[in-house]
Structure 1
Amino acid sequence: MKKLRVAVIGCGSIAKYRHFIEYEQNPIVDIVAVCDIAEARAKESGEKYHALPYTDYKLLLKEQDIDAVSVCLPNYLHAPVSIAALEAGCHVLCEKPMATSMKEAEDMISAAQKSGKKLMIAHNQRFVASHAKARSLIEAGELGKIYSFRTTFGHGGPERWSVDGTNSWFFKKDQAVIGAMGDLGVHKADLMRYLLGEEFTDVSAIVETNAKENATVDDNAVCLLKSENGVIGTLTASWSYKRNEDNSTVIYGEKAVLRLEDDPNYGLIVQYTNGETVHYQLGKIQSNDEAGQTNTQVIDHFVSSIIHNTEPLIDGEEGMKSLNIILAAMESSETSKLVKVNH
């Protein structure tokens, strides 16, 4: 089988600890080109993966015969670079959040449709074993009617993860546009849509910048969500959890409570209302602290969708719906009003 020729645009931490490693582990992929505005970073990645280094993505797309591209750049560049790659005839895997506005997301989807190429958004929470199992239990009716949920994603902040530390683009409004909500909250918005199998219609949120002195974006947010079937719950995103990361979700139903990534030993615990408790040991959820030691399955799924010509689990439409919730939360906080989510 002919190997897929892949380029990674953006050689920061998410590329270093996820994309490069998982592409290299995939036997039908060749990393042929890398790009970063920092020449030294591009050269280092190029040497490590035997790929040609670039500092200009447009030149890379013009000169190289590429099948697929990973876009691992600051948020404000997701849309323009993804669109350029799609127009150049490449399949695109774009990091989350897919864009910084609905208009950008729509333009990305339109470019994918016109090019006939795949557009996938790297929401890795759908591939976590405990989350996949929880979705199957919910679909099978194990919980009965679902009433409520709480979901949280918080850690000490991207300075521990980003190659630029406290000077990272994550903290800068002109490059990130959205802070903790774009970094972490959008993951949980996507996860809850996936688990519940329905859309959210109403969002109320308080979004603050109170933990990071150098941040011009949000670093703490608490959101109240309501689904189309009346399920209500809270979504929290934070860069202020300095001691331990929290990536947990609890779902409260008529027949049972699901506890996901809420226990150090079990990825999923099902507490039935009849008194029975079932523990599932499904392997660890990926975390920044163990970057490179676990496979998120995102790259493998993206590659498989290209090889088998199937639609990615998180295509542009799915990415846009999850982004829409985050944008509604930001609007709610700014206006101090409940915001209706327009799908």
Structure 2
Amino acid sequence: MSKIKVGVIGCGSIAKHRHLPEYANNNNVEIIAVCDIVKERVSEIAKEYQAIAYTDYEELLANPEVDAVSVCTPNYLHAPISIAALQAGKHVLCEKPMATSIKDAEQMIEAAKESNKKLMIAHNQRFVPSHQKARQLIEKGEVGKIYSFRTAFGHGGPEGWSADGVNSWFFKKEQAYIGALGDLGVHKTDLLRFILGEEFTDVGAFVETSSKENADVDDTAVCVLKTESGIIGTLAASWSYVSKEDNSTIIYGENAILRLEDDPVNSLVVQYKNGEVVKYELGGIQTNDAGGQTNTQVIDQFVSALIENTEPVVNGEEGYKSLKVVLAALQSSETRQITSL
């Protein structure tokens, strides 16, 4: 079978550390085009991957050789570029958050339907082994009724990770629209929806900019969430955790407590009601600290959906449902009221 020819639009850190190396490691893919508005950056990447360099994404999309693209740009460009790519007949893997408004997300889903092309959103938390295992235990009924949860995703902020450091687009409202909630919080809303197997119905949130002087977006957010069956819990998303990254989730059930990514060695610890404790060493979650060399599986999942002509696991609808929760959290913080989804 001929290889899938891929273009990557936006050559910042997420492309450099995740998309490009993971495409390069997939035998079914050939990276043929890369695009970035920073000419030096894209020239360097193009040389490394022997791809054509573009500084205008429309020119890349006009290349008939390109079958699929990754959209790794600042948030405000996710929707317009994804829609243009789908309309140009390309499959799309878009970074999260998929869009900065409900309307834009809906238009992306519509464009995928109309063009009959795949749209996947790069939510990688579902593919983490401990998260998969937790979902299985819950599905099998081993944990019993779920009462509550708490989840956090926080680190010192994008300046340590983003290609532009402290001058990063992440801190600028007109380019990012949403800060830590869109960068980290949306990963956790997606994860919780996946693990609990339920949708959220209500969100209350406090959202602040307290640690970043150069930001006009949120850098610290704490949300209270409720699902359709009445499971309640908290979600914290922050760029103000100055030491080790926190990426943990704890699920409190009738028969057991599940601790995910909460212990440095055992990625899942199950504490049963009867006092028994089971520890699983399933391999860690990908962190920005580790140089990000572990495979997130996002690319492999996207590629296999293209090869097998199946619906991507995290399709546009899934990305949309996860986005809705963080946008509702922003609304709740602004109105000082619980937002119903």
Decide: shared fold, TM above 0.5. Answer: yes
Q: Identify the residue that residue 18 of structure 1 maps to in structure 2.
A: 18
CA contact (8 A) 1:89 1:117 kept: yes
Normalising by the residue count of structure 2, what TM-score does the alignment of the two structures yield?
A: 0.99
CA contact (8 A) 1:153 1:245 kept: yes
- Paired amino acid for 1:283: G
Normalising by the residue count of structure 1, what TM-score does the alignment of the two structures yield?
A: 0.99
| Residues in 2 aligned to 1:292 and 1:150: alpha-carbon distance in whole angstroms | 25
| Residues in 2 aligned to 1:172 and 1:137: alpha-carbon distance in whole angstroms | 41
- Does 1:82 find its partner at 2:91? no
Report the number of matched residues. Answer: 341
Q: Identify the residue that residue 155 of structure 2 maps to in structure 1.
A: 155
> Which 4+ runs in 1 deviate beyond 2 A?
none
- Paired amino acid for 2:273: T
SS of match in other structure, 2:289: helix
| Deviation of the 1:63 alpha carbon | 2.9
| Residues in 2 aligned to 1:291 and 1:202: alpha-carbon distance in whole angstroms | 37
Q: Identify the residue that residue 45 of structure 1 maps to in structure 2.
A: 45
Q: Aligned-residue CA RMSD in angstroms?
A: 0.5
| Deviation of the 1:292 alpha carbon | 3.7
CA contact (8 A) 1:18 1:291 kept: no
CA contact (8 A) 2:286 2:292 kept: no
- Paired amino acid for 2:51: A
Q: Deviations over 1:173-205 (max 9, x none)?
A: 000000000000000000000000000000000
| Deviation of the 1:64 alpha carbon | 4.1
| Residues in 2 aligned to 1:291 and 1:131: alpha-carbon distance in whole angstroms | 21
| Deviation of the 1:289 alpha carbon | 1.0
* Structure 2 counterparts to residues 1-343 of structure 1, below 5 A: 1-341=1-341
Q: Deviations over 1:139-173 (max 9, x none)?
A: 00011000000000000000000010000000000
| Residues in 1 aligned to 2:60 and 2:67: alpha-carbon distance in whole angstroms | 12
Which has the larger displacement, 287-296 or 1-10?
Answer: 287-296
| Deviation of the 1:62 alpha carbon | 1.0
| Deviation of the 1:113 alpha carbon | 0.2
Percent of pairs identical after alignment?
69
| Deviation of the 1:60 alpha carbon | 1.1
Q: Which runs of 5+ in 1 are unaligned?
A: none
| Residues in 2 aligned to 1:33 and 1:293: alpha-carbon distance in whole angstroms | 22
Q: Deviations over 1:11-36 (max 9, x none)?
A: 00000000000000001100000000
Q: Deviations over 1:45-67 (max 9, x none)?
A: 10000000000000111134211
SS of match in other structure, 1:288: coil
- Paired amino acid for 1:65: E
| Residues in 1 aligned to 2:193 and 2:156: alpha-carbon distance in whole angstroms | 26
| Residues in 1 aligned to 2:298 and 2:4: alpha-carbon distance in whole angstroms | 16
| Deviation of the 1:290 alpha carbon | 1.6
Q: Which runs of 5+ in 2 are unaligned?
A: none
